[in-house]
Chains A and B, each alone.
Chain A
């Protein structure tokens, strides 16, 4: 049971961004995708979801995604883009309901909001919320789809430290309940602390995959980010990375 991509090639017009990418997100695992700005992380997510054209094979639980109907695909695969600009000031309830409409089974808006600690925002408008509150509400909308796999593009952006930790802890718990989660983030330490698996997308569009302990070493970090970092070991914990 996995979300798989093999031989995935993606470009914008004549410019090739990603070539022959092989990628796998296991059901019940929490993975983070990291890489420098402009490496193509968001493009890879879009290609996996199917909102950006790509060549190659994408499979959901063994079934080619092109053979799944659009509604079925949305019930299996939830996606939260980096930026969302609603055309009109939607209420929180309205935005979460849009996700619930896609779900195969009935789901209440309140429980979806509760899962991201945002039930008190129910009757507010999206445009009144802070950046962090907005991200949590939008995530609740994607969770209301009740997908088996979640692709999140920087869900922790604009969240304070406490809510970042809460969100990643929540994502880890969701993965323990069987969800396969792939999350783009720039915070290496946050990702290493909570994720089962890290993927580094290098500037040469190569993917390095491994556990946090395997990847938080000098060579992969330097190949991906082009800098040397200090790797501070911790007993029984993943190391902490600080810039030199």
Chain B
């Protein structure tokens, strides 16, 4: 098809986003409480055995898993938010709108408050707060999907999601109320979102879920464009609207569940990124979604870098990244809103 005359050039945007990702990744590896020289550290990490590593290389080996998880989390949350805004036809939808994050946080709270719930196998814990979060996030997703089966109205699903959020939020407060006071700080730490990981195993834990969810989204990427115009027209144009919406909800839900289970709730990435990108990418999801992944990943890498390096009241302590994304994302979103209006 010849659409060349009517399509503005989009390539520079992806070049800019690619550069932003490379810069964010380099900064995330090089800077923190200790700054390192990146290229020699990478060279040593690649070529030398661990006992020959310099301090810089040891620092790099700790930062690499964290940067990997951060990039996955930012990308997945931004894509999940973009998909949910299109499926629910609502610009205020976020990865947390459907109550999946609250359900996951409730699961994590349960295990944090009552570690006796953790079943062990030869002394190894089978259930940790992270597996608890994943279990309940998927349970929340199943609840949302069963609601979507009964209601074809997008607002019905949205309201059900908000209600689930409140319900799980109240359940979390109940668990917090019943928990031993000395466990409260770990629960508070969870709810503020954190990207602390020390191994690639933990950093790559969300990957299988992201791949399953992502493939469901990619499968329906063109149908999503038709849905954004009008559901009835999409159906007349051969889109199986009910099936496509369920698959997209499942895909976005799995992305959210995978990230929340590993990092806790990190707000504003899924809300801000799609709105910031639409003026540049247009509404075609084959451009919007890859751009959302890149910008979401870069945004969270920069936010995490700031959270690790900022000094509050003279103290050099790490700020929970969820607080920072909200503090940066909130004003940025308001600026976008006023610019649009």
Contact = CB atoms under 8 A, between A and B. Distances in A.
Nearest to B1: A106
Interface in B82-99: 85-86, 89-91
Interface string B1-33: 111011100000000000000000000000000
A166 interface: no
Interface in A64-88: 69-71, 73-74, 77-81, 84-88
Given A88-B228, A108-B2, A77 B283 contact: no
B170 interface: no
Contacts of B90: 87
Contacts of B3: 93, 97, 100, 108-109
A46 B86 CA distance: 24
A93 B228 contact: no
B240 interface: yes
A85 B230 contact: yes
B238 A71 contact: yes
Contacts of A177: none
Contact of B238 (A84, A86, A102): A102
A132 B85 CA distance: 28
Nearest to B235: A51
A85 B229 CA distance: 7
Contacts of A107: 1
A208 interface: no
Contacts of B2: 106, 108
Contacts of A93: 3, 6-7
Contacts of B7: 93
A90 B236 contact: no
A211 B39 CA distance: 82
Contact of B237 (A74, A84, A91): A74
Contacts of B228: 86-88, 90
B1 A77 contact: no
A63 interface: no
A169 interface: no
Interface string A172-200: 00000000000000000000000000000
B233 A90 contact: no
Nearest to A45: B236
Given A86-B228, A93-B6, A122-B6, A50 B236 contact: yes
Nearest to A81: B232
Contacts of B91: 87-88
Contacts of B222: 101
A98 interface: yes
B226 A98 contact: yes
A90 B232 CA distance: 17
Most buried by B among A88, A106, A122: A88
B1 A95 contact: no
Given A70-B239, A88-B278, A81 B1 contact: no
Given A90-B283, A94-B284, A102 B237 contact: yes
Contact of A87 (B86, B232, B236, B238): B86
Contact of A81 (B233, B239, B278, B283): B233
Contact of B282 (A91, A108, A110): A91
Given A90-B229, A100-B1, A79 B283 contact: no
A93 B239 CA distance: 20
Contacts of A79: 233, 236
A95 B283 CA distance: 10
B238 A98 contact: no
A54 interface: no
A130 to B, nearest CB: 19
B318 interface: no
Interface in B79-132: 85-86, 89-91
B225 interface: yes
Contacts of B230: 81, 84-86
B29 to A, nearest CB: 36
Interface string A107-140: 1111000000000001100000000000000000
A221 B19 CA distance: 69
A86 B2 CA distance: 24
A73 B6 contact: no
B5 A110 contact: yes
A110 B6 contact: yes
A145 B237 CA distance: 9
Contacts of A71: 238
A51 B236 contact: yes
A70 B240 contact: yes
B94 to A, nearest CB: 15
A30 B5 CA distance: 33
A78 B3 CA distance: 21
22 contacts: A49-B236, A74-B237, A77-B236, A78-B236, A81-B230, A84-B229, A84-B230, A84-B233, A86-B228, A87-B86, A87-B227, A90-B229, A94-B282, A94-B284, A100-B3, A101-B1, A101-B225, A102-B238, A108-B1, A108-B2, A122-B6, A145-B237
Across chains A and B, which 3 residue pairs bring their CB atoms closest together, nearest first? A70-B238, A87-B89, A79-B236
Given A97-B284, A100-B3, A107-B1, 20 more contacts: A49-B236, A70-B239, A71-B238, A74-B237, A79-B233, A80-B233, A84-B230, A84-B233, A88-B278, A90-B228, A90-B283, A94-B282, A94-B283, A97-B6, A98-B225, A98-B229, A99-B237, A108-B1, A110-B5, A110-B6
